[in-house]
Amino acid sequence: MSKEKCILAYSGGMDSTISVAWIKEEYNIDVITLTLDLGGGPELDGVEERAKFAGALDTLIWDVKDEFVNNYIFKGLKAGALYEGVYPLSTALGRPLMAKKLVEAAKLHGATYIAHGCTGKGNDQVRFDSGIMTLSAHTDQIKIIAPAREWGMSRDEEKMYAKKVGLELREVGDKQKVYSIDRNLWGQAIEGEDLEDAWIIPPEDAYSWTKPIENTPNNFEDVVIGFKKGIPVSLNKKKLSGVELIEELNAIAGNHGVGRIDHLENRLVGIKSREIYETPAAIVLHTAINSLETMCLSREQQRVKQNLSQIYADLVYDGKWFTELRSNIDAFIDDVLKFTSGEVKIRLFKGSTTVIGTKSNYSLYDFELATYSTEDIFDHSAATGFIDIFSLSSRTQAKKQTYKDAK
């Protein structure tokens, strides 16, 4: 009689590699690993070999970069989704797609279990579990295994377990430190080791996409990003796919030290966590689209969108991608950005991104109305009547109600 099967979300890192051996040992089931290429670059090198060495029955590697960019990254970009105004949600945007593909793989291979390497104190466990349960709500409920949440091992104990079962860990850095790294096209998150001390400056060996400021070029570099309905479509006048544009921009901006984020973050589970991110393209694109929106949206549209941006960011961060509210906001964003097309010129220099030019055929900026030169067509005489009506409610209240009458 064949064993039951489990689809394991596999990155090739410490937690997921240990999980292969642990699931087989604890549950006596076969493990099929699923690795999704979301733009992981070198992190995918050797993934199949590591999974097989750890005891996987089979390994699946699916390229989902285009789907990730078009259906997740660009939705987050258009929504202006920056968690706590800082984090472009690189990891969080990838999780719903991963949950979706895990469910698809489970159905394809007849698996009754899905597993992931999330710990019991992180956000990803919520994103994976809620996504998997939501997507399988109309079928036989898939059972979820979360080894790192169940085994209760510390990082040091994980290393000891890995040695016991004969596994090699991915080590990086001059001192062979073991960082927990989650990487995709939109950015990478680095945790562990010295980074857990909020007073310590992150060591350079933790970074791989961005140069330290002292090593960046001494000359600035200007890039021009073209947008169509809020979606970036060109870089320096060259039309590119979403994947190509982000890849090129990551390299260009990272060379100038752009994209490093050191954030003391409020996790969903109620604790604060020091998070280190590298998101060069994301920082540049968020800066650019914000400038274009300022030119193409009315003040009222901007205010409503700004409020929805925070709600959207919280939904993504909290693992609520597969909700009607998120879809509702997407529909509003798509409509409100239908005239957000044009170009934005960004100057990159020593870690900074500065908008130095914005243009659009749908610009609400009217030079003849804004100028104070002889070309001014604004009717200054209309201001007196406008102010009289505008201040009417406050003047009326001031006459009828005073602080001394308040009880």
95 is catalytic: yes
**Cα–Cα dist 19/12, whole Å:** 10
**Cα–Cα dist 10/46, whole Å:** 12
Cβ contacts of 246 within 8 Å, gap of 6 or more? 39, 69, 73, 185, 186, 281, 285
DSSP single-letter state for residue 87: B
**Cα–Cα dist 222/252, whole Å:** 10
Q: Which of 11, 15, 182, 341 is catalytic?
A: 15
**Cα–Cα dist 268/123, whole Å:** 6
**Cα–Cα dist 9/169, whole Å:** 17
CA distances from 166 to 55, 147, 151 (A): 11, 18, 18
- Which structure tokens are listed for 233? 């479509």
Q: Which of 11, 90, 130, 180 is catalytic?
A: 180
Say what angle helices 324-336 and 299-317 make with each other, to 10 degrees.
Answer: 150
Q: Which of 19, 30, 95, 309 is catalytic?
A: 95
Q: Which of 124, 129, 130, 309 is catalytic?
A: 124
205 is catalytic: no
Contact 47, 61 (CB under 8 A): yes
Contact 1, 42 (CB under 8 A): no
**Cα–Cα dist 324/347, whole Å:** 38
Q: What is the dihedral of CA 364, 369, 372, 378, to 10 degrees?
A: -150
Helix, strand, coil percentages for the chain (3-state, nearest 5)? 45, 20, 35
Q: Can you give the C-alpha Rg of the chain in angstroms?
A: 25
Cβ contacts of 92 within 8 Å, gap of 6 or more? 83, 123, 127, 316, 317, 319
For the chain, the residue count is 407
- Which structure tokens are listed for 270? 């109620």
Catalytic residues: 15, 95, 124, 180
